[in-house]
Amino acid sequence: MHWDIFCRVIDNHGDLGVCWRLCADLTQRGHSVRLWVDDASALAWMAPQGCASIKVHVWPTDAALQTLAQDAAFKVGDVVVEAFGCALPEAFQALMVQGTPPVWINLEYLSAERYVARSHGLASPVMSGPARGLMKWFFFPGFTPDTGGLLREPNLLDTSPAQDNTPSPFISRRSKFDRAAWLAALPLDQPIAANERLISLFCYEPAALPDLLMQLSQADERTRLLVTQGRPSAAVTAATQALNLPPSGTGQLQISQLPYFSQTDFDHLLWACDLNFVRGEDSLVRALWAGQPLVWHIYPQDDLAHHDKLHAFEAALDMPLLLRKFHAIWNGLETGPLPPVSRAMLEDWRDWSSRTQHRLQSQTDLTTALLGFVAQKR
């Protein structure tokens, strides 16, 4: 089948990250995809190799679509995906009513809230505008079998032993991933020592960040904090300045700034670290598949709706109480010191992460579920 997927980049490229993974997964399964996006600049580092079966187009103007309408070779896809309520251009909607109507999917944001299962797969008749008379279908990602599932490429999770035999609490489940070699190739200011605990940081601007930095600097074991580019890097710079700490860390804490990573290398980062701080939707899902301890910085909303969303996530995945406490403080729902990131606590969180990964792996992945849903509606 041919797919048209529409995406608008809001502020942090997360929408584009989800859409690109969906596009890539579809092409791996033999489909062709046009990705229409208003800002594709992040693909230069997110997907530097591109994909021959994905045609990236700038968000179309009415004039551009009118020109396409006159091209006899142009056809609207068999499936049109409106990602995260981005609203299709009316001129494109007009093209959709010509010939056989496509299956029109509204791909929604990920949530564990109860409304997701109730709303997944519902129809929304289009009552006005150029696409009047067509049907739009709501498709919700989720954490339970009665939702659309999570994005997971075929064979992502491999239970074969890793090639890396270096002693470490990390056990890779990907037989082709050489952790030691990947870490050694990172462009860091100081090479990673064998006894360093590795923590990745991908966040917004959590108020508890200075507390985390001070805690790690005074811990019993050495920690390397691997900081991703953009807002996390700026947040760490502000925090170290406020604490009057060297930007490279102090005491038991070594801080290293990472370059912008491709999606593949970001996955590798999550696989390689002993604890992952993630944010948004795409990195949360990838951290769940990594099977390592994680802390989620949920996207903050002015009306505090993210509080309910976080609580629903914690309940749906039966998160340990101490990890819930950490999430509450990290996300600003509570104040006070963060629970200490001790070896015993990480082991407990790792057990939970492993159980959660296996539980979610037993569910149908999002792309498979979406293909089955589309087949029913064609």
Residue 162 pLDDT: 39
Taking only the tens place, the pLDDT of each residue in 5-63 is 999 998 778 899 999 999 999 999 999 999 999 999 999 999 999 999 999 999 999 99
Are 377 and 36 within 8 A, CB to CB? no
CA distance 225 to 34: 38
Strand order in the sheet with 197-201: 253-257, 223-227, 197-201, 275-279, 294-297
Alpha carbons 48 and 228: distance in angstroms, whole number: 17
What is the maximal distance between C-alpha atoms in the chain? 69
Q: How many CB atoms lie within 10 A of CB 240?
A: 20
Could you read off the pLDDT tens digit of each residue along the chain, which spans 378 residues? Answer: 999 999 999 877 889 999 999 999 999 999 999 999 999 999 999 999 999 999 999 999 999 998 988 898 899 999 999 999 999 999 999 999 998 999 999 999 999 999 999 999 999 999 999 999 999 999 999 999 999 999 999 988 864 333 333 333 333 345 678 999 999 999 999 999 989 999 999 999 999 999 999 999 999 999 999 999 999 999 999 999 999 999 999 999 999 999 999 999 999 999 999 999 999 999 999 999 999 999 999 998 889 899 999 999 999 999 999 999 999 999 999 999 999 999 999 999 999 999 999 999 999 999 999 999 999 999
Residue 367 near residue 25, CB atoms below 8 Å = yes
Q: What is the chain's mean pLDDT, rounded?
A: 93
CA distance 209 to 204: 10
The predicted pLDDT at position 171 comes to 37
Q: Name residue, tokens 């609580």.
A: 311
Q: Catalytic pick from 25, 281, 314, 365?
A: 281
Where are the domain boundaries for CATH 3.40.50.2000 in the chain? Answer: 179-361
282 catalytic? Reply is no
Question: Which residues lie closer than 8 Å to 19 by C-beta, 6 or more apart?
Answer: 5, 7, 35, 37, 83
Of 15, 25, 164, 274, which residue is the catalytic one? 15
- Strand-pairing partners, residue 2, are 32
Q: Give the pLDDT score at 173.
A: 44
Chain centroid, CA 218 distance in Å? 31
- Other Cβ atoms less than 10 A from the Cβ of 312: the count is 17
Q: For the chain, how far is it from start to end, CA to CA, in angstroms?
A: 11
> Which pLDDT score, from 0 to 100, does residue 158 have?
65
Torsional sign, CA 31, 361, 341, 302: positive
Amino acid 157: pLDDT: 83
Cβ-based neighbour number of residue 262 at 10 Å:
15
Rounded to two decimals, the pTM is 0.94
- Residue 103 in contact with residue 137, Cβ under 8 Å? yes
pLDDT the model gives residue 175 = 60
Question: Which pLDDT score, from 0 to 100, does residue 160 have?
Answer: 36
| pLDDT (0 to 100) of residue 90 | 95
Residue closest to 216 by CA, chosen among 243, 191, 234: 243
Say whether 303 is catalytic.
Answer: no
CATH topology for 2-150+364-377 is Rossmann fold (3.40.50)
The fold of 179-361 is Rossmann fold (3.40.50)
Tell me the one-letter amino acid at 197.
R
Handedness of CA 321, 322, 325, 330 (dihedral sign): negative
